[in-house]
Structure 1
Amino acid sequence: MLPTAPRLGRTGPRLGRTVPLLHLVLLFVATAGALLAGATPASAHAALTGSDPKQGAVVQQAPEVVTLQFSEQVSMSDDSIRVLDPKGKRVDTGKLRELGSGGTVKYGVGLHSGLPEGTFTVAWKAVSADSHPISGAFSFSVGAPSQTSVALPEQQAGGGTVGTLYDIARYVSYAAFALVVGAAAFVLACWPRGVAVTALQRLIAYSWVALAGSTVALLLLRGPYTDSGKLADVLNLGLLGEVLNTKTGAALISRMLLLGAAALFIVVLFGAYAKREDPAEKRDLTFGLAVGGGVVAAGIASTWAFAEHASTGIQTAVAMPVDVLHLLAVAVWFGGLTALLVALHRAPADQPVGRNAVRRFSRLAFGSVLVLVATGLYQSWRQVGSWNALVSTAYGQLLLVKIGLVVVLVGLASISRRWTARLTDGGAHVVEQRAAESAPTRDAPADEPVSVGAGSGSGAGAGSVESARPSAEDAPEPEPATEPTPEGDDSDRDEDPVRAAQLARQRAAVAKAGEKRVRDADPDRSGLRRTVLAEAAVAVVLLAVTTVLTATEPGRTQEQVDKAGAAGSVVASGPVKIELPFDTGGQDGKGTLRLELDPARTGANTLHVYAERPNGKAFDLPEVKLAFTLKAKDVGPLPVAPDRVSTGHWSSTGVQMPMPGDWQLSVTVRSSDIDQVTVHKNVKIG
């Protein structure tokens, strides 16, 4: 849950409360973690658009080859397509054939001769060109449908624990990249003095570690994510070797190498750059770091563009550099915003972030927004494809949410610009004067002078704030005083380690309270901190939505699938079990129907119907009839007449569902010669 930003009109000590760096990092991660934890497995950017035989088809002779057609390029191996007979025995040759031509992506597998009649199941898995795993299953029948004992995996590719961990690592890598690039850009372009601020140094260093760690995690999880789905296979060297031979593996290795160059950049930034005092030398080094850092940042951004959605679909030669620009703009804006927030909260009171630094970042952020809008419009057109897909597909709806968040973020940025205009660059003496004016009435008797310094929190300047007494809110609980030493016995006082430690803690607390009081004495800077914090909170949600968006099937692809009427791109979700109360209106006409449809997917299904009286006993009804209707496609009603198995139990095998969708199930129940009723229920067929 994100903290609520205080209203702009409030002032006082609580508004300037120091936010620890760890809290800021957790703020950047927490909301997105919650979103990703509840997200479904990633939908891929490639989809099955057709097959031969078609899903649910009944053919008179067994085909020689089973073919699958996809919306775009996919990676498959010899074991990617399996054809199973009604008993679950594999009947394909295990040799993959690439049959596409003229831009058509089509793969096939040969079948053995002499296949029996019955229902056959085709199970397949692949990796789309933008790195997302896809899988599915469908069935067809030779001669006539039959029962099948094939057990398909219930977990969709890219799901489960491995999928969740992979998605978390993806988000962390995006966030850490934005923090490293944006914070470094903020220091170089907006506030060079910030290179000596410990909080900013830690922000950049910790973000680099997070980016390196998440990249290693993605590399290890990649094999189980696209293949077995088992967490135990993370250390499987065989799978790791296969990953290294893929486009995604090459991108992750390249990212690790570029992170080595980024580490060198950080060392120079905190070392030679921070120590330079000559203005000319510092300008030269700034230019060199800006050019070198920009090249490294663009290289790291290209590892996403090379391996993910920009590398597939239409106009890839344009889409990939546009994607790099988009990622860099996101990093400069979001990462720089976080760096500004850290600086506003953790910069030394005698060297606050001035108006000029904030104005520089405001201009930099405005330029980033322009790049984001331009590149975002192109990406949206490329991925959505039509106005209808913008509102009717999951990708389009997420895109609308993202646009709304960007509008909110720009609105908050405009408020921050107003606070920026009120800032002064006069240094610490301005806020010291304000603090000194209010300190006597708050912290000390009126006749007792109070000196408020600008300690840096690291011991420097502590003596200048010793006489300032912290308020009850700021100061820690006083510790029990030790026994006073006799007058004149200075040696005992100096040698008492308990007393020395006690005094050191008190001095540190007083120094920290004095520094906080100085920082809080500037209401303009406090207001800016609040609005920047609100911007950072919205940016967290926006980055999470962006991460989920990159793993969602684009509207353009979804429309291709809908037009083709394809089926089988989703693995069976398991049996459907529903209850339907009924009342025929006659005497003894009330009861409940329990229906089980297994496996609730296209092709052949098994249906069981159980009727119970209100007291729970079996209800032997004279007649039960069912019908399935898919109104969205004008299919049906498809009648089903189950056979009576025992008292209150009816069953039917080989119930054919020709395509997936939200089917309406109509059940007609007759309890006597004249009393009957029809009840309805929607059933999801995968």
Structure 2
Amino acid sequence: MRTTAPRPGPDLAGLGRLLLVVAALVAAGLGAVLATAAPAGAHAALTDSDPKRGAVVAKAPEQVSLTFSEKVAMSDGSVRVLDPAGKRADTGKTTDLGSTTYGVKLKPGLPDGTFTVAYQVVSADSHPIAGAFTFSIGAPSDTKVALPDQEVGGGLVGKLYDTARYLAYAGFIVVVGGAAFVLGCWPRGAGVRPLQRLVVSGWLALTGATLATLLLRAPYTGSGKLADAFDLAKLGDVLQTKTGAALVSRLLLLAAAALFIAVLFGAYDKREDPKEKRDLAFGLAVGGGVVAIGIAATWALAEHASTGIQAGLAMPVDVLHLIAVAVWLGGVVALLLCLYRAPLIDASAVRRFSAVAFGSVIALAATGLYQSWRQVGSWTALVETDYGQLLLIKIGLVVVLVGIASVSRRWTGRIIAEAGGLAPEAAATAVVEQRTGTVGAKNSAAAKSATTKATTAKGATTKKKPVAVAHSSKTGVAASVDTDDRADDRADGGKAGAKTGAKDGGDDKRAAQLARQRAAVDAAREKRVRDADPHRSGLRRSVLAEVGVAVVLLAVTTALTSTEPGRTEEEAKNAVSSAPRTAGPVKIKIPFDTGGQDGKGTVRLELDPGRTGSNDLHVYATRPNGSAFDIPEVKIAFTLKAKDVGPLPVAPDRIATGHWSASGVQIPMAGDWKVAVTVRTSDIDQVTLDKNVQIG
């Protein structure tokens, strides 16, 4: 009697396909956006300086001081002060002035003119920052200083460094999540060799990426030249930094992780006594957990969590966040591998992982909410800063991922619901026979006969390894079959058959070929059993979609860790907006035409010094041929729409032909001001023109 497998409800199948399409579209769209995105900024920002940006001082100061939003790593030469001719005006010695302020002494006898302050330092969260500003002594002047166009941390070195960081995160997720899946969810003896290869590959990726990051650290934070990666002196300097110490600590912990992996897939797998296995499992769980927490801490101690507000709380929260991500997404990758490689899936393993994944999502949401508040700081920063926008993308991806995971849980529920009345593997074979017809049935029978003969031949001299029987009436789901042991039996049986063939006919080559054919038939039969399982196929599709979205999510997360937090970016903007922005007068040139006879000309305005506070205003009117234009009236008004200030009217006095002036023009705050100019050329001919200009 043949058994027909029940088909899943159309709601699950349709929803699963829809989510796959949505996941693919989201991945493609985000991939295009991220591929064209500009390099992300670093995480510390210059919030103040003395002299201030654009300031004009009466005499040369003794030193220039810089204040950042967080602690930075600074060495001699990190701050350079250049005179108008481009020559060094500082002594080269930098000093820590306390808190987040640093200074550099200036040489005596400096000339008047515009000086350029250029800095390149490393923020406390390991990312390099660079910038420049000017101030003037006596009066502004022209300057010959030319700063490099390439952004620090960019170029080929920046791309390689970011790639290594992505691979490090991915390797950590696979190692921790895959090992947790094997230890806590997957039954022993149920085909763990694919999982072993997965975990080992993750370990290799994490180790290689950590070594690459350590070597690239010097050029990434310094010159940007790839050759510096092999400079031992610069590598020694890196090892003395907080980031270098964290990377070396990660390598030492990875050595301990290698021992853990060897025991997990070695001694633990060979234990037969249940009590011994439980004791060893407990030891592995504790030891592996400590190693995983230690590796996660190497990120928390050197990056975002180690700086800013509430660092003492943020670091353990960041560690918990990383562990939750690894257990969830790494477990999803391991489950997907089992769905494709293992002949049969144990329902209890799927149920246990479903519970673990649910707990990980809860921990991920809680820790992520705290991290978002800490790094963004305000609702405006959530939408107006690069960090906030990337965070919104990440939240959207997590929502999509949770939606796909809910479909996976529904497939899991169907699997678990049918796990109670499970029958032998023959029932699953019947499904295959029904779908493939007579040829499939003959192939299955031939495979069974070949395997039986081979095993009988081996049994005369060797004890047969135990094989757990499948327990799924319709699907082949919820079984514990050691594919490695079955493969060993087939191989050993094939060898026995080959020996028998050699004795009968002396044709060893023919016997080996028959053994390979029998193994191939068995493998094909197992694949047909897997593909005939509707529940397994549905779960496979949804988990594959989860992995696809997770790959994009990891890319966005890596970009987030390289982007200046919204809270810091807003602090920097506020600091810049409160400082003078120009070192000279603001000049505006506006052509006009009142429409009457002799009504064309040009108005030129000069606002000196062009900053907040009191200013002198000069207005010049000229005809098209450049001569002075003695127009009857000119009026000016200033409006700052962003702050709802103005219009502030100004009525300049006539000084000479075509020249008007007003003193004490007050600009109350910095911003993008609209300057409206009203020109009257006769009793009836008048026009008002406006132009926006940055004052401040």
What SS is found at the alignment partner of 1:148?
A: coil
The amino acid of 2:532's aligned partner reads A
Match of 1:77?
A: 75
1:87 is displaced (CA, Å) by 1.1
Shift of 1:677: 13
**Residues 463 and 296 of structure 1: CA distance in aligned 2, closer, same or farther (over 3 Å):** closer
Q: Structure 1 length as normaliser, TM-score?
A: 0.73
* Kept in 1: contact 2:12–2:407 (CA 8 A): no
Q: Residues 427-460 of structure 1: CA distance to partner in whole angstroms, max 9, x if unpaired?
A: 644422211222325x45x9x6852869948745
1:435 aligns with 2:432: yes
CA distance in 1, matches of 2:645, 2:136: 20
Q: Secondary structure at the match of 2:59?
A: coil
- In the alignment, which residue of structure 1 is the partner of 2:656? none
Aligned to 1:199: 194
The counterpart of 1:451, out of the listed 445, 450, 460, is: 445
Match of 1:532 in 2: 543
For 1:293-372, what aligned pairs fall within 5 Å after superposition? Answer: 293-347=288-342, 349=343, 352-372=344-364
1:137-216 equivalent positions in 2, closer than 5 A: 137-193=132-188, 196-216=191-211
Q: Which residue of 1 aligns with 2:370?
A: 378
In the superposition, relative to structure 1, how do residues 388 and 681 fare at CA in structure 2: closer, same or farther (>3 Å)? closer
Cα distance in 1 for residues equivalent to 2:523 and 2:674: 68
> Partners of 1:551 and 1:124 in 2: how far apart?
19
Counterparts in 2 of 1:228-239, with a 5 A limit?
228-239=223-234
Whichever residue aligns with residue 421 of structure 1, its letter is G
Q: Is the 8 A contact 2:70 2:124 kept in 1?
A: yes
1:404 aligns with 396
Whether the 8 Å contact between 1:68 and 1:107 is mirrored in structure 2 is yes
Shift of 1:39: 4.3
Which residue of 2 is the match for residue 93 of structure 1? 91
Rounded to whole Å, the distance in 1 between the matches of 2:521 and 2:289 is: 43
Instruction: Give the equivalent residue in structure 1 for 2:381.
Output: 389
Using the TM superposition, give the Cα deviation of residue 33 of structure 1 relative to its aligned residue in structure 2, in angstroms.
Answer: 8.5
Identify unmatched segments of 5+ residues in structure 1.
1-5, 15-28, 467-487, 571-581, 587-601, 603-619, 638-658, 667-673
Partner of 1:44: 42
Deviations 1:142-169 (A, max 9, x none): 2222221112111111111111111111
Provide, for residues 88-109 of structure 1, a one-character-per-residue CA deviation record: whole Å limited to 9, x for no partner: 1001011112223xxx411111
Q: Which residue of 2 aligns with 1:59?
A: 57
Between 64-73 and 397-406, the greater mean CA deviation after superposition: 397-406
Distance 1:463 1:138, change over 3 A: closer
Q: 2:245 aligns with which of 225, 250, 254?
A: 250
CA distance in 1, matches of 2:84, 2:315: 46
Contact 1:196 1:270 in 2 (8 A): no
Q: Secondary structure at the match of 1:286?
A: helix
1:562 partner letter: K
> Is 1:465–1:514's contact at 8 Å kept on the other side of the alignment?
no
Q: Secondary structure at the match of 1:110?
A: strand
| Higher mean C-alpha deviation, range 62-71 or range 257-266 | 62-71
Paired residues of 1:8 and 1:530 also in contact (CA < 8 A): no
Native 8 Å contact 2:60 2:110 kept in 1: yes
Q: 1:195 to 1:495 in 2, by over 3 A?
A: closer
Partner of 2:659: none
SS at match of 1:127: strand
2:8 is equivalent to residue 9 of structure 1: no
Kept in 1: contact 2:114–2:141 (CA 8 A) = yes
Deviation string for 1:7-39 (max 9, x for gaps)? 95389xx9xxxxxxxxxxxxxx99998776544
Q: What corresponds to 1:130 in structure 2?
A: 125
Provide the secondary structure at the position in 1 that maps to 2:428.
helix
Moved more, 453-462 or 161-170: 453-462
Structure 2 match to 1:574: none
RMSD (CA atoms)? 4.7
Aligned-residue offset at 1:585: 14
Within-5 A mapping of 1:615-630 = none
Aligned to 1:223: 218
Native 8 Å contact 1:31 1:541 kept in 2? no
CA contact (8 A) 1:329 1:368 kept: yes
State the SS of the aligned residue for 1:86: coil
Which of residues 537, 559, 566 is equivalent to 2:570? 559
Identity over the aligned pairs, expressed in percent?
Answer: 63
Q: Is the 8 A contact 1:82 1:124 kept in 2?
A: yes
Superposed CA offset, 1:162-188 (max 9, x none):
111111111111111011000100011
Amino acid aligned to 2:290: V
Report the Cα distance in structure 2 between the residues aligned to 1:10 and 1:411, rounded to whole angstroms.
Answer: 14
Q: Which amino acid aligns with 2:433?
A: A
CA distance in 2, matches of 1:436, 1:682: 80
Shift of 1:545: 1.4
Q: CA deviation at 1:410?
A: 1.4
C-alpha deviation, 1:508, in angstroms:
5.1
> How far does residue 239 in structure 1 lie from its aligned partner after superposition?
1.1
**Preserved contact between residue 46 and residue 68 of structure 2 (Cα < 8 Å):** yes
C-alpha contact (below 8 Å) 1:306/1:320 kept by paired residues:
yes
- How far off is 1:60 after superposition? 2.2
Aligned positions of 1:416-427 closer than 5 A: 416-423=408-415, 424-425=418-419, 426=422
Do the aligned partners of 1:55 and 1:567 also contact (CA within 8 Å) in 2? no
User: Which TM-score applies when normalising by structure 2?
Assistant: 0.72
Structure 2 counterpart SS, 1:277: coil
- Cα gap change, 1:267/1:449 in structure 2, threshold over 3 Å: closer, same or farther? closer
When residues 439 and 131 of structure 1 are mapped into structure 2, their CA distance, relative to the original with a 3 A threshold, is: same
Greater helix share, 1 or 2? 2
> How far off its partner does 1:380 sit?
1.4
| Structure index of larger Rg | 2
Residue of structure 1 equivalent to 2:102 = 107
Shift of 1:62: 1.6
Contact 1:138-1:567 at 8 Å conserved across structures: no
User: Which residue type is aligned with residue 9 of structure 1?
Assistant: A
Instruction: Quote how far apart the aligned CAs of 1:415 are.
Output: 0.9
- CA distances 1:614-641 after superposition (whole Å, capped 9, x unpaired): xxxxxx9999xxxx9997689999xxxx
Question: CA 1:390–1:453 in structure 2 vs 1: closer, same or farther (change >3 Å)?
Answer: farther
- The code of the aligned residue for 1:432 comes to T
Query: Does the CA-based 8 Å contact 1:630-1:664 persist in structure 2?
Result: yes
Residue 251 of structure 1 deviates from its aligned partner by 0.4
Shift of the alpha carbon at 1:660? 12
8 A Cα contact 1:68 1:108, kept in partner: yes
Alignment length (residue pairs):
573
Alpha carbons 1:195, 1:201 under 8 Å: kept: no
Q: Deviations over 1:481-525 (max 9, x none)?
A: xxxxxxx9985865579xx65x66655543332221010111011
Partner of 2:405: 413
Aligned to 2:553, which of 529, 534, 542? 542
Q: In 2, Cα distance between the equivalents of 1:301 and 1:195?
A: 30
When residues 113 and 360 of structure 1 are mapped into structure 2, their CA distance, relative to the original with a 3 A threshold, is same
Name 1:617's counterpart in structure 2.
Answer: none
Code of the residue aligned with 1:215 in structure 2: it is: T
Structure-2 separation of matches of 1:263 and 1:195: 22
Q: Distance in 1 between matches of 2:13 and 2:517?
A: 34
Structure 2 CA distance, aligned partners of 1:226 and 1:195? 48
